[in-house]
């Protein structure tokens, strides 16, 4: 169960309105790696968690924090939309700067949301639940989380460079710092699990059942062998079980497929 306090986790006040930037900032609110994604991902991982209690607690801690990040971004976007030129289009057409703002802002911010934030990304595409990763395997999911915080911090840093508004930058500097923490957090959690279980997900699938002669081979399917110079093609494998092999000319190992004719009742094309 949840409680809310009115104060934001950190200040979210732009120095001045900027409706075009409001559109861009939607990316880290409702995009694939926006705050809604991590909020939902951590909460569902927590609620579905069948592992020991500290993982569930930790997931609900961070998931709850992320609801507050969604709140900060929504609040910021609503304020960036203040004063957007939503009227007098005829006048606007005479002023290329205003016209450019009208062209560059998301029309739904005015028509649909009345100058409010929306749970969409910067292309206006709605957030959807296929972004949420919760597999029940914590090593897999913590890797998903480390990726989410990496893509997320990258996007926030890009957005930081795209504005000079001190108020916006101040809020983003907070989110960037939290993403630094969260990358560290997931790296620590991953290391902790890898040390006891090994690094291949899932660790408890009997490796005898896999086709082991291709388990450590890098296959060169594109012309040119620059790829042979990587750490993925030489030396010990990261799971500590073998040595990387470089297969210069990978050959097919399977059949040339032919399918049987289909049943007459499906009216497909048969030989």
Site residues (CB under 8 A) for its own copies, limited to 73-112: 74-75, 78-79, 82-83, 86-90, 93, 96-97, 99-104, 106-108, 110-112
Does 154 bind its own copies (CB under 8 A)? Our answer is yes
38 versus 74: smaller Cβ distance to its own copies: 74
User: Tell me, what DSSP letter sits at residue 120?
Assistant: B
Does 164 bind its own copies (CB under 8 A)? Our answer is yes
196 versus 222: smaller Cβ distance to Ca ion: 222
Does 167 bind its own copies (CB under 8 A)? Our answer is no
Encoding tokens for residue 174? Answer: 């907070």
Residue selected from 5, 22, 38, 80 as contacting its own copies according to rule CB under 8 A: 5
Per-residue mark of binding to its own copies, 44-73 (x: CB under 8 A): x--xxxxxxxxxxxx-xxxxxx-xx-xxx-
Does 248 bind its own copies (CB under 8 A)? Our answer is no
| Nearest residue to 249 via CA among 212, 215, 224 | 224
Q: How far is CA 129 from CA 18, 119, 123, 212, in A?
A: 29, 12, 17, 36
Which residues are within 8 A (CB) of 94 and not within 5 positions of it... i.e. 6 or more apart? Answer: none
Torsion (CA) 26, 31, 34, 39 in degrees, nearest 10 = 120
In the bound complex, what is the minimum distance in angstroms from residue 160's beta carbon to Ca ion? 30
Does 16 bind its own copies (CB under 8 A)? Our answer is no
Encoding tokens for residue 78? Answer: 């609503």
Does 57 bind Ca ion (CB under 5 A)? Our answer is yes
Across-strand partners of 243?
Answer: 236
């Amino acid at each position: 169960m949840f409680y809310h306090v009115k104060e934001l986790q950190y200040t979210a006040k732009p120095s001045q309105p900027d409706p075009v930037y409001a559109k861009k900032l939607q990316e880290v609110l409702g995009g694939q790696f926006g705050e809604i994604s991590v909020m939902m991902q951590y909460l569902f991982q927590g609620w579905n968690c069948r592992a020991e209690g500290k993982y569930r607690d930790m997931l609900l801690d961070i998931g709850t924090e992320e609801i507050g990040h969604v709140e900060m971004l929504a609040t910021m976007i609503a304020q960036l939309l203040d004063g957007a030129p939503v009227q007098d289009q005829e006048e606007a057409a005479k002023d290329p700067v205003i016209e450019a703002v009208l062209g560059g802002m998301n029309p739904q911010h005015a028509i649909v949301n009345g100058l409010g934030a929306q749970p969409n990304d910067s292309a206006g595409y709605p957030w959807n639940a296929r972004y949420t990763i919760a597999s029940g395997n914590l090593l897999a999911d913590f890797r998903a989380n480390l990726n989410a915080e990496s893509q997320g911090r990258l996007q926030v840093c890009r957005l930081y460079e795209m504005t000079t508004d001190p108020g916006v930058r101040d809020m983003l500097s907070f989110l960037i710092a939290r993403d630094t923490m969260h990358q560290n957090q997931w790296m620590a959690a991953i290391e902790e699990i890898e040390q006891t279980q090994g690094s291949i997900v899932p660790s408890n699938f009997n490796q005898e059942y896999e086709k082991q002669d291709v388990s450590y081979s890098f296959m060169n399917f594109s012309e040119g062998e620059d790829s042979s110079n990587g750490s993925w093609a030489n030396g010990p494998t990261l799971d500590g079980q073998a040595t990387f092999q470089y297969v210069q000319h990978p050959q097919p190992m399977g059949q040339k497929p032919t399918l049987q004719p289909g049943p007459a009742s499906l009216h497909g094309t048969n030989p």
